[in-house]
Chains A and B, each alone.
Chain A
Amino acid sequence: MASAVAQDQSGAPPRAPVPPAAEKPARRTGISDRRLPYLLIAPAGLLMLGFIAYPMLSVFYYSLQNYNPTKPWRNGFAGLDNFRRIFTDDPLFWDSLAFSAKWVAAEVSLQLAFGLILALLVNQTFVGRAVARALVFSPWAVSGVLTTTIWLLLYNPSTGVGRYLADAGIGTYGSSVLSDTGTVFWAAVLAELWRGVPFFAILILADLQSIPGDLYEAASVDGANRFQQFFHITLPHLRDAIILSTLLRAVWEFNNVDLLLTLTKGGPAGVTTTLPLYVAVTGFEAHDFGYATALTTVAFGILLFCSILYLRLSKFGGDRK
């Protein structure tokens, strides 16, 4: 579809002198109203064509190649070898996929739950609401690397909260949650939650504000209590926003490299290596571009499959109420 953008510009389309063009002359821009929209979307279309569509195609192309700039003598067409390697003798792939799934499931479900509660709270009228909103939303603007910076300070055994708690008699000295394979997952989840919950809360709050107040008044006149109102008015109204933001967030969390790369570097012992992190390491540290793009293709397929399945199952945009 985007390719049509480019075509419509170069190959001059047959321009019949249609009546609307006669009614609406060129508005002194020298370009007819028929061609103007194509001209306007051309920059966006070309950028997306060149830097999203073309790279996507080249991912598929490279995935069939042995391509490693440090070992040029082995480069060439590989067929489906890369894919066979992924599915038959690469335990790291399955480990990273399992960790990705665990990470996305934990992050999205917890962010949704806390985000919903937070949005409902700051949607109430209370003294100091504007200040409270500004403060609880603030981590949303923080980058993954800054989140890492802050939580490294908090988790470090000599500078973190643990040490001060130990001084007060709670817990022990000198243990770092980031170097323990048993706790590192939840430590990373907590750090990302800190930044991710406000995102959900903002989106849900925006949608909450579009619910007409009359609905609640009518419901309470009919004797519905707050929980009944929540389940029969609020939740159905939020449905599409929740489905969409959950999907977007799942893709973003699947894709999250900033935080994990700097907080745990995929460790300890590889237990926090997600699939995109594994792709990045394979591509940019091992220089195995062919294999990295094959991994990308598989990851993309999984993501696409899950997205479609999710949209089907959730009946997005379907009958409301």
Chain B
Amino acid sequence: MTAAIAEKGAPAAPAPGTAQPPPVRGRRRRRERAFDEVPRWQIYLPLGLYLLFTLVPFYWMLLFSLRPAGSDSLVPWPMTFDHFAKVWNERAFSVFFQNSALIGVGTLICTTGVALAGGYALARFDFRIKQGFMLALLCSQFIPGALMLVPLFQIFKNLQLINSPLSVVIAETVFQLPLSIILISGFIRNVPYSLEEAAWVDGCSRLQAFRIVVLPMLRPGLIAVGSFAFVHSWNHFLFALMFLMDGDKQTIPVGLSTLIGADSVDFGALAAGGVISAVPVVIVFAFIQKWLISGFSAGAVKG
């Protein structure tokens, strides 16, 4: 989408030097200095090699998911969708998919909701434990979730949440929160405080002012944070594996791992399951792509 537009626009920019030189702007001016210019081959050659490394594995997965069993061809032709039908129906991926979607959406809602409240407090108020709270957020980033598995399991057992998707939603939310709060408070700081104050003067309550003035301006940031939360919990395997016991409660990554664990691996089914697990992530990333890098630089790195 964005990519396609930029692709079309790009060749027009360094237009053939027939026309008179355009008004000089920063990037253009540097471009004209051959001295500063990176030779094109020094970009395209390493990038091409790296693209090969990136794309061959993806191609391999697509190839095996679309190619009839027993075929040796390196082109998926004749194309078949048997592997997808098999994984979806016989291997219960339709159930896994629903479970994953439920957990992903639950994590998205909890993380953005809780992080929005916390981020607003950090961005707009000065209070006594603020520094301590920020420090706690940063420190919790250094605590590895895998090492907390044993006590977390005990806690969820005591709460009778083992086998409930809620346990996974809580665990995913907790480990997503610190980064999400830091990101969101960064986004809220970018919204001028004077706009909010103007709304109060006009008679809005704090909540109304937040809803009418701040929330619309936060949309890109919220989409980025929410997408990270969704994709992360969609992809994460460990909490679902450990806290959900029954096969029909499991998520897509665990479903994939059971395909791997089978005695004789059905590579067609495995590849088809992989493609299915990638579909929502691809959709989400196509959707948020243009906010991705600016979102990171606004919050995380500058944090």
B-binding residues in A (CB < 8 A) = 1-2, 4-5, 8, 27-29, 33-34, 36-38, 40-41, 43-45, 47-48, 50-52, 54-56, 58-59, 62, 114, 117-118, 121-122, 124-132, 134-136, 138-139, 141-146, 148-154, 156, 159, 161, 164, 194, 202-203, 205-207, 209-210, 213, 216-217, 220, 226, 241, 244-245, 247-248, 251-252, 254-255, 257-258, 261-262, 276, 279-280, 283-284, 289, 292-293, 296, 299-300, 303-304, 307
Contact = CB atoms under 8 A, between A and B. Distances in A.
B277 A146 contact: yes
Contacts of B148: 52, 55-56, 59, 296
Interface in B233-275: 234-238, 242, 253-254, 256-257, 259-260, 265, 267, 270-271, 273-274
B144 A303 contact: yes
Given A52-B174, A127-B11, A128-B7, A258 B117 contact: no
A209 B118 contact: no
Given A41-B133, A149-B260, A153-B64, A136 B150 contact: no
A293 to B, nearest CB: 5
Contact of A144 (B124, B237, B292, B300): B237
A65 B150 CA distance: 13
A118 B50 contact: yes
A1 B132 contact: yes
B60 A150 contact: yes
B24 interface: no
A46 to B, nearest CB: 9
B181 A258 contact: no
16 contacts: A40-B125, A41-B122, A43-B114, A43-B117, A47-B170, A62-B151, A126-B44, A128-B10, A146-B256, A149-B273, A205-B293, A217-B26, A226-B36, A255-B147, A258-B253, A262-B256
Interface in B273-287: 273-274, 277-278, 281-282, 284-285
A145 B256 contact: yes
A265 B50 CA distance: 28
B129 interface: yes
Contacts, number: 308
B149 interface: yes
A179 to B, nearest CB: 14
B256 A149 contact: yes
A257 B149 CA distance: 12
Contacts of A289: 150, 154
B237 A145 contact: yes
B60 A154 contact: yes
Interface stretch (B15-23, B27-35, B76-84, B212-220): B27-35
A65 B200 CA distance: 57
Nearest to B14: A127
Contacts of A164: 74
Query: Chain A interface secondary structure, helix, strand, loop or mixed?
Result: helix
A96 to B, nearest CB: 13
Contact of B121 (A37, A62, A251): A37
A44 B181 contact: yes
Interface residues of B, number: 112
Contacts of A148: 256-257, 260
B152 A296 contact: no
B206 interface: yes
A300 B147 contact: yes
Nearest to B27: A125
Given A40-B120, A44-B117, A54 B155 contact: yes
A210 B293 CA distance: 11
Contact of B142 (A54, A55, A134, A303): A303
Nearest to B270: A149
A45 B43 CA distance: 47
A130 B198 CA distance: 40
A150 B207 contact: no
Interface string B196-224: 00001000011101000000000000000
A284 B242 contact: yes
A194 B133 contact: no
A252 to B, nearest CB: 8
A59 B151 contact: yes
A209 B297 contact: yes
A209 B136 contact: no
Given A37-B125, A148-B260, A292 B170 contact: no
B57 A151 contact: yes
Contact of B117 (A4, A40, A117, A296): A40
B2 interface: yes
Contact of B237 (A38, A213, A258, A276): A258
A303 B145 CA distance: 13
A124 B43 contact: yes
